[in-house]
Amino acid sequence: MDTNAIIAAVAAELQLALERVRAAAGLLDEGNTIPFIARYRKEVTASLDEEQLRNVAERLGYRRNMEERRETVLRSLEEQGVLTPELQAEVAAADTLQRLEDLYRPYKPKRRTRATIAREKGLQPLADLVLAQPLEGNREALATPFLKDEVPDIEEAYAGARDIVAEAIADAAEVRGTLRELAQRRGVLSTAITTEGESKDAEGIYRMYYTFFGDVRNLRPHQILALNRGEREEVLKLNLEIPEAESLGILARHFPADSGSPLSEDLRLAREDAFSRLLFPAVERDIRRGLTEIADEHAIGVFATNLRSLLLQPPLRGQTVLGIDPGIRTGCKVAVVDATGKVLATTTIYPDRHRTEAETTLRRLAQQHHVSVVAIGNGTAGRETEALVADLIGAGLPVKYTIVNEAGASVYSASKLARQELPDLDVSLRGAVSIARRLQDPLAELVKIEPKAIGVGLYQHDVDQKALAETLDTVIESAVNSVGVDLNTASPALLEHVSGIGPKMAQTLVAHRDAQGPFSSREALRQVSGLGPKTFEQAAGFLRLPDGEASLDNTPIHPESYAVARKVLELLSLPLGDVRMPQALQELRREWNLATLAQELGTGEPTLEDILDALARPGRDPRDELEGPILRGDVLHIEDLHEGMRLRGTVRNVVDFGAFVDIGVKRDGLIHISRMGTGYVRNPHEKVAVGDVIEVEVVEVDLQRGRISLALVD
């Protein structure tokens, strides 16, 4: 399959116009990043968005990988001298990697098997007779020519022949494919508790799966992941069941025995052996692997959606924040950071042992550094710390507080990056700094943490770790480039996710900035050693300079379009940032047909649309349009809740069965998917996202188990 055929296949699969896919493939092959193509090459791809471009890239990779494998298979078949015109046509027509491997399986070099040993004894011709089902001769006479020292009797001869036949049946692509389809359609996955299961599952985590039956086609992703984990922890034993009679019937259709042949019984026995010893275990592995891949893909998708929402939470600008990393035995770590994230003070307090001293310390730090917000981590002793802060507020301290998800703070504290950023701070105090900073700018701080440590997913430690890492890197790249990055303040951890930059260039940019001083313009990027024209092209539009020499450097307008932007400003007779700009742009849109204006200015209509939007709101941060964190002045306890109470809360995690919401008590409440609206809700992500501030109603409070059931208030 040539390049054009691959592109055509991808276009058909994704239901996209052929020319759009061809253009996207060309841009990707030239080394352009997906954020760059989506933002600055809309005319070329007819405005394919990031998701569409990633799908194109993924399917192109799959198809190209399949073509490479097809060439390898054909070359191997030809070298073995088994490539018939019919087999070549089948290999050429294979449209999945699995189908390709099924066709190649009979000819693929194998380890030493029972069939291999039988062939070495010269029993292949007898196996061919079993498959041919001759009508003449008797069973003993047909086997006699094959008797020798290695094959002393008739039954051993036929046993070896049946081993060869069984392997041939198991290797038949049509048989394997049909059995796999039967298992997907009618298979049942059942479980049983292992001998030591109950002792290994002391908390009863897997109790609902001790005796479980589920149709393969109806299993939910979270069930698959839970079953896999239970099996891995040796609590559960899993078993796949498929209709045996129907399975043997499939084998009989492809390898029929003739009742008039003396070898009919040998073929029947070979079919049964092929099914039980070779085919069923292989199909079970395929089905289990397929289920796991589906579950992994779903779980990774949930994690990616939640992570993107978390990264794009609105920043709390212009505030001096006091961050507290709660603790009991080792005390609460405290850090004060100014509006730019600079550390002003750190200390440790012990509220449980020295409460008065802890109150005095917090009051002094808040007054001395003009703290306006306290950020409290939600870990152990978080609610006790919240009560302490609420008491101070009740006593007149003029601050607000909020609870911050501290997941991953300890991971960051011990990281190499933390040692570079905060070399003079003890590792325990770095967590408090991270908690304060992630309230000020969640994106800038959370990119410093390994994504799976942030804890907003479903079974994130059980899924394919390579696929998870790749997907989460993609999410971070997309989030960073959608917001843009301040070139003069961004950390290397943030810069490395900018289109075209990467870790090494990020370090180079920061080193240049430290040595030469702040960048005065995007154009000054060209002076950085090792930053070539391609990197500049890919990165420049996503880097911002709020205090740069050129006002356009603080917009998402790419330098390649500055000339067009300046012509628009000339048409408006207004400088960038003028308060009359939005009104003037509206008038421009009324007076001009955009297609005509784009042609007049020598650009494309989509690019002109983006330029006009950027001019209307220079320096815009898309996160500012979302509601910020809830800042509280009091504290609630679970005992204060009652049915029917309405509260505002922050969504902390969204999973298949609902969403967990922080409503200001010790435990997050759960909105079950059935309580997310009056109509049927297929997916909780349709209703809420991580970081959303929503109104909820208390449905039930279980004080004994510490569980809170909530309903979403539309």
- 119/233 same-domain check: yes
Mean pLDDT in residue range 705-713: 87
What is the per-residue DSSP string for 317-383?
TT--EEEEE--SSS-EEEEEE-TT--EEEEEEE-TTT-HHHHHHHHHHHHHHTT--EEEEE-STTHH
Query: Of 659, 655, 652, 306, nearest to 458 (Cα)?
Result: 655
Mean pLDDT in residue range 468-485: 91
- 519/557 same-domain check: yes
Mean pLDDT in residue range 656-661: 89
Q: Note whether residue 572 is domain-resident.
A: yes
Backbone angles phi, psi at 698, to 5 degrees: -75, 125
Query: Of 670, 666, 668, nearest to 635 (Cα)?
Result: 666
Number of H helices and E strands in the chain, helices first, is 31, 15
3-state DSSP helix/strand/coil % of the chain, to nearest 5: 55, 10, 30
Domain end marker among 48, 80, 107: 107
Measured at the alpha carbon of residue 356, what is the angle toward residues 350 and 362, in degrees to the nearest 5? 70
Question: For the domain that residue 528 is a member of, what is the CATH number?
Answer: 1.10.150.310
**pLDDT at residue 468 in the model:** 85
Distance CA 6, CA 589 (A): 41
- 564/696 same-domain check: no
CA distances from 121 to 112, 124, 159 (A): 13, 8, 12
pLDDT in tens, 318-328: 899 999 999 88
- 616/670 same-domain check: no
What is the per-residue DSSP string for 566-592?
HHHHHHHT--TT-TTHHHHHHHHHHHS
Q: Note whether residue 490 is domain-resident.
A: no
Domain count, the chain: 5
According to DSSP, the β-strands at 332-337 and 343-349 are: antiparallel
Q: How confident is the model at residue 704 (pLDDT cuts 50, 70, 90)?
A: confident
What is the percentage of the chain residues whose pLDDT exceeds 70? Answer: 99
Question: For the domain that residue 238 is a member of, what is the CATH number?
Answer: 1.10.3500.10
pLDDT in tens, 83-120: 999 999 999 999 999 999 999 999 988 888 999 999 99
Q: Note whether residue 521 is domain-resident.
A: yes
- 620/645 same-domain check: no
Distance CA 337, CA 444 (A): 15
- 98/118 same-domain check: no
Say which residues have a Cβ less than 8 Å from residue 278's Cβ, sequence separation at least 6: 166, 167, 169, 170
Distance CA 4, CA 702 (A): 62
User: What strands, in cross-sheet order, belong to the sheet with 332-337?
Assistant: 343-349, 332-337, 321-325, 373-377, 400-404
Range of the domain at 541: 512-625
- 431/557 same-domain check: no
Q: How confident is the model at residue 1 (pLDDT cuts 50, 70, 90)?
A: low
Distance CA 391, CA 359 (A): 9
Q: Note whether residue 494 is domain-resident.
A: no
Mean pLDDT in residue range 222-235: 92
**pLDDT at residue 202 in the model:** 80
Q: How confident is the model at residue 635 (pLDDT cuts 50, 70, 90)?
A: low
pLDDT in tens, 130-181: 999 999 889 999 999 999 999 999 999 999 999 999 999 999 999 999 999 9
- 94/131 same-domain check: no
Q: How confident is the model at residue 296 (pLDDT cuts 50, 70, 90)?
A: very high
HEC assignment per residue over 450-513: CHHHCCCCCCCCCCCHHHHHHHHHHHHHHHHHHHCEECCCCCHHHHCCCCCCHHHHHHHHHHHH
Question: For the domain that residue 693 is a member of, what is the CATH number?
Answer: 2.40.50.140
Domain end marker among 473, 504, 536: 473
Give the residue ranges of DSSP H helices in 81-172.
Answer: 85-93, 97-104, 114-120, 124-132, 139-143, 154-171
**pLDDT at residue 541 in the model:** 95
Q: Note whether residue 436 is domain-resident.
A: yes
- 343/207 same-domain check: no
According to DSSP, the β-strands at 485-486 and 543-544 are: parallel
- Taking all residues of the chain, what is their mean pLDDT, rounded to a whole number? 91
The residues with which 372 forms a beta bridge, in sequence order, are none
User: What strands, in cross-sheet order, belong to the sheet with 212-215?
Assistant: 212-215, 188-193, 236-241
Query: Of 327, 311, 344, nearest to 433 (Cα)?
Result: 344
Q: How confident is the model at residue 507 (pLDDT cuts 50, 70, 90)?
A: very high
pLDDT in tens, 26-60: 999 999 999 999 999 999 999 999 999 999 999 99
Domain end marker among 264, 299, 334: 299
**pLDDT at residue 97 in the model:** 92
Tokens of 20: 């759009």
Q: Note whether residue 390 is domain-resident.
A: yes
Task: Count CB atoms within 10 A of the CB of residue 390.
Answer: 19
What is the percentage of the chain residues whose pLDDT exceeds 90? Answer: 63
DSSP assignment letter at 673: G
Q: Note whether residue 315 is domain-resident.
A: no
Say which residues have a Cβ less than 8 Å from residue 533's Cβ, sequence separation at least 6: none
**pLDDT at residue 457 in the model:** 66
Q: Note whether residue 461 is domain-resident.
A: no
**pLDDT at residue 458 in the model:** 66
- 127/255 same-domain check: yes
- 580/596 same-domain check: yes
Measured at the alpha carbon of residue 302, what is the angle toward residues 300 and 307, in degrees to the nearest 5? 90
- 680/620 same-domain check: no
Tokens of 11: 């276009």
* Unique residue bearing structure tokens 């900018």: 498
